[in-house]
């Protein structure tokens, strides 16, 4: 299933947040959205997921979701959003509750995603016993349990230290190599964008408009930390954003 955002604009009373956004997220690709602080990235993903309704424009799901999909669109948040009184298995089962599926299918889906995210040995562990990276892997497993058409990832690695972030990026690349999942990935981290994105959409400062869309043709499995080509792409993205990012930071500090 493809996702198409067409002529999308949004405002809160007189505050214009997004203006005339047009993005296509093809099936099997990761589209990253970057931009200076306050440019409307998180608002955009809330609109895509239906948590808010856009003031103008439309968001279309083109084609059919995958077989067995319980939720076409599923979020992965930066703060993990795990229930501390539930085990890893219990947190994953939460998203399956209320769906008309058998206990056998629930157990099968949980076992499947635990295996896919290398968490099978931690099924009965509680969140307080897990590292930050492990908690985010549980959040990813929980999202995958409903077999979504599109993952909506709102700065999913921003709460992690740099070493854990690198490990999780490797995990996401490995997962994509096996699954070919589709994602809209919001981030302020340009390293994440060039490591994970097939396409990077650069937003201007508020009101967020698309300044440029950069395609990255290097296969995800070949994107190494020290890749000169990725470094050049990251530099290009920063040069696009630098002045507006500084201005946005000054405005936030003044506020």
Residues 133 and 42 in one domain: no
pLDDT at site 46: 93
Residues 143 and 162 in one domain: no
Task: Note whether 118 and 126 are within 8 A (CB).
Answer: no
pLDDT at site 98: 86
Task: Note whether 201 and 45 are within 8 A (CB).
Answer: no
Residues 96 and 220 in one domain: no
Instruction: Evaluate if residue 209 carries a pLDDT over 90.
Output: yes
Residues 37 and 132 in one domain: no
pLDDT at site 195: 94
Structure tokens given for 156: 């999913």
Residues 6+ apart with CB under 8 A from 203: 33, 34, 35, 36, 39, 40, 41, 44, 209, 210, 211
Residue 74 domain flag:
no
CATH number at residue 242: 3.40.50.300
Boundary of a domain, candidates 123, 147, 171: 147
Residue 71 domain flag:
no
Residue 193 domain flag:
yes
Q: What is the mean pLDDT of residues 58-78?
A: 91
Residues 50 and 169 in one domain: yes
Higher pLDDT, residue 249 or 93: 93
Instruction: Evaluate if residue 87 carries a pLDDT over 60.
Output: yes
Residues 154 and 143 in one domain: no
Residue 15 domain flag:
yes
Higher pLDDT, residue 224 or 119: 119
Boundary of a domain, candidates 97, 124, 147: 147
Q: What is the distance between the alpha carbons of residues 206 and 15, in angstroms, rounded to a whole number?
A: 9
Instruction: Evaluate if residue 57 carries a pLDDT over 90.
Output: yes
pTM: 0.91
Upper half-sphere CA count for residue 232 (Cβ side, 13 Å)? 5
Residues 179 and 143 in one domain: no
Residue 75 domain flag:
no
Residue 70 domain flag:
no
Q: What is the distance between the alpha carbons of residues 12 and 15, in angstroms, rounded to a whole number?
A: 5
Residue 109 domain flag:
yes
Boundary of a domain, candidates 99, 117, 147: 147
Residues 126 and 172 in one domain: no
Structure tokens given for 169: 């990026």
Q: What is the distance between the alpha carbons of residues 92 and 113, in angstroms, rounded to a whole number?
A: 9
Residue 54 domain flag:
yes
Residues 130 and 247 in one domain: no
pLDDT at site 129: 95
Instruction: Evaluate if residue 255 carries a pLDDT over 60.
Output: no
pLDDT at site 247: 66
Q: Is the dihedral of CA 204, 16, 6, 154 positive or negative?
A: positive
- State which residues form the domain around 140: 84-147
Residues 99 and 217 in one domain: no
Task: Note whether 248 and 36 are within 8 A (CB).
Answer: yes
pLDDT at site 241: 84
Residues 98 and 59 in one domain: no
Q: In terms of DSSP bridges, do strands 30-34 and 56-62 run parallel, antiparallel, or are they unpaired?
A: unpaired
Q: What is the mean pLDDT of residues 101-128?
A: 94
Residues 55 and 161 in one domain: yes
Q: Is the dihedral of CA 237, 243, 249, 252 positive or negative?
A: negative
What is the total count of domains within the chain? 2
Q: Where are the alpha helices (DSSP H) in 55-179?
A: 88-94, 103-116, 132-144, 162-179
């Amino acid at each position: 299933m493809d996702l198409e955002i067409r002529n999308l604009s949004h405002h809160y009373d007189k505050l214009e947040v997004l203006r005339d956004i047009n993005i296509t997220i093809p099936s099997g690709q990761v589209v990253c959205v970057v931009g200076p602080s306050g440019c409307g990235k998180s608002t955009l993903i809330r609109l895509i997921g239906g948590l808010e309704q856009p003031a103008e424009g439309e968001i279309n799901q083109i084609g059919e979701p995958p077989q067995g999909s319980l939720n076409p669109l599923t979020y992965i948040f930066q703060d993990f959003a795990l229930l501390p009184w539930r085990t890893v298995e219990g947190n994953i089962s939460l998203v399956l509750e209320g769906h008309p599926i058998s206990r056998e299918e629930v157990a099968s889906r949980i076992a499947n995603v635990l295996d896919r995210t290398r968490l099978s040995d931690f099924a009965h562990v509680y969140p307080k016993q897990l590292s930050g990276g492990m908690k985010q892997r549980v959040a990813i497993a929980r999202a995958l349990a409903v077999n979504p058409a599109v993952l909506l990832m709102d700065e999913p690695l921003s709460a992690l230290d740099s070493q854990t972030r690198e490990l999780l990026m490797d995990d996401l690349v490995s997962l994509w190599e096996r699954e070919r999942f589709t994602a809209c990935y919001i981030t302020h981290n340009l390293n994440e964008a060039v490591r994970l994105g097939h396409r990077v959409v650069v937003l201007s400062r508020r009101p967020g408009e698309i300044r440029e869309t950069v395609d990255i043709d290097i296969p995800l499995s070949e994107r190494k930390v020290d890749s000169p080509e990725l470094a050049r792409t990251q530099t290009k993205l920063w040069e696009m954003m630098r002045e507006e990012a500084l201005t946005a930071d000054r405005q936030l500090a003044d506020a």
